[in-house]
Amino acid sequence: MDAIADHWRYALDNPNFKYSRLFAIGFYSLLEKSDSEIVKDETKFSELIKPLTDKLNLPIDKLKKDLELYRSNIEKMTQMLIVLADTLEASKKKRLEKN
């Protein structure tokens, strides 16, 4: 975990760095790539990001809020894709029944 924090610290030490929602999504994506199971468990995820955000001086409340919004949007898009697939399947069946 210290190695990850050291790499992030390099970027965050840049005087022009400004926290953004896009940064939070990148942060989440890297954590997800390193351990996809840990981001699925809210308790473990919170335990993981707390020391990282402390070490990197990131606003944990804002980060959590941004990631909650991101995860919610991902879930909505997943549901939308399921509905679209179901709609396409139903449309395909109707066309086959007409022929």
Q: What confidence tens digit (pLDDT) does each residue in 39-80 have? A: 888 888 888 888 888 888 889 999 999 999 999 999 999 999
Q: What confidence tens digit (pLDDT) does each residue in 28-37 have? A: 898 888 888 8
Is the model's pTM score more than 0.85? no
In the prediction, which pLDDT does 58 show? Answer: 86
DSSP H helical segments within 13-59, as ranges? 21-34, 42-56
In the prediction, which pLDDT does 1 show? Answer: 57
Compare 21 and 99 and report the one with higher pLDDT: 21
In the prediction, which pLDDT does 75 show? Answer: 94
What residues have CB less than 8 Å from 4, skipping those under 6 apart?
30, 34, 52
